[in-house]
A and B are shown apart, each in its own frame.
Chain A
Amino acid sequence: GESVGLHLPTLSVQEGDNSIINCAYSNSASDYFIWYKQESGKGPQFIIDIRSNMDKRQGQRVTVLLNKTVKHLSLQIAATQPGDSAVYFCAENIPSNTGKLIFGQGTTLQVKP
């Protein structure tokens, strides 16, 4: 469920390393998942998504893995760059007519040059 009251955990990585950001989702009925990137003072931007009938999806430098057994989602960023520094949120869609997305608490990624 939503964790809006918690301070965001931080992941610090060296430039060029791979980053893995994890997310536990709440509902086994969730059928669609999204990763967003939010830079300071801006709205969240779509990175990559995955549907529940898949367990892996790859984009440019990013890969999302879905483990439905343990309700876990991860975002892997290859060769992390300083421009990747941001807050990353996962979101899940629980089927309904409202279209509400349930957001995870977010993780701050800091890339050290």
Chain B
Amino acid sequence: SQTIHQWPATLVQPVGSPLSLECTVEGTSNPNLYWYRQAAGRGLQLLFYSVGIGQISSEVPQNLSASRPQDRQFILSSKKLLLSDSGFYLCAWRQGNTEAFFGQGTRLTVV
């Protein structure tokens, strides 16, 4: 069966520090991968998606970047965090016209 792992679960980082959040998927090949951000009490905002290795599309201009170095690995990064980067980050995968599967999320607090 397919599983998605996302870590860390929580992270507190100072302003100006770098960020790296990792997401890996098991049990499937060539999935579409997605990074979402969710502010407290708000909806899901799509940040990046990838349809293949090295292929990244950005949905909104921001301080973050994404990479897909392997088929089932998706990384969200920042060189210098801003206070406004705080939020709940969700990784998801999807294959074909079926449901998307989400990781458990990373709660990022920038202080």
Chain A residues in contact with chain B, CB under 8 A? 2-8, 31-32, 34, 36, 41-46, 49, 89, 91, 93, 95, 97-101, 103-106
Q: Residue A4 contacts which of B34, B43, B96, B100 (CB distance < 8 angstroms)?
A: B43
A4–B42 Cα distance when bound, in Å, is 6
Cβ-based interface call for B83 (8 A): no
B residues in contact with A6, CB < 8 Å: 42-43
Instruction: Supply 16 further A-B pairs (C-beta < 8 A) apart from A34-B99, A44-B90, A97-B51.
Output: A2-B45, A2-B46, A4-B42, A5-B42, A8-B43, A31-B97, A41-B88, A43-B6, A43-B104, A46-B99, A95-B97, A98-B49, A99-B96, A100-B46, A100-B49, A105-B43
- If over half of A's interface residues share one DSSP class (helix, strand or loop), that class is named, otherwise mixed; here it is loop
Asked if A7 and B104 make an inter-chain contact with CB atoms under 8 angstroms apart, the answer reads no
B10 to chain A, nearest CB (A): 9
Chain B residues near A45 (CB-CB < 8 A): 102
A7 to B38, CA, bound (A): 12
Contact indicator A89/B44 (Cβ below 8 Å)? yes
- B39 adjacent to chain A (CB < 8 Å): yes
- Chain B interface size band reads 20 to 34
From known contacts A4-B42, A7-B41, infer whether A99 and B51 are also in contact, taking CB-CB under 8 Å: yes
Q: Are A100 and B45 in contact (CB under 8 A)?
A: no
- Check if B32 is an interface residue, CB within 8 A of chain A: yes
Can you name 27 A-B residue pairings with CB atoms under 8 Å? A2-B44, A3-B43, A4-B42, A5-B42, A5-B43, A6-B42, A6-B43, A7-B41, A8-B41, A31-B97, A32-B97, A34-B99, A34-B100, A43-B90, A43-B92, A43-B102, A43-B105, A44-B44, A44-B90, A44-B102, A98-B49, A98-B51, A99-B97, A100-B34, A101-B94, A103-B43, A104-B43
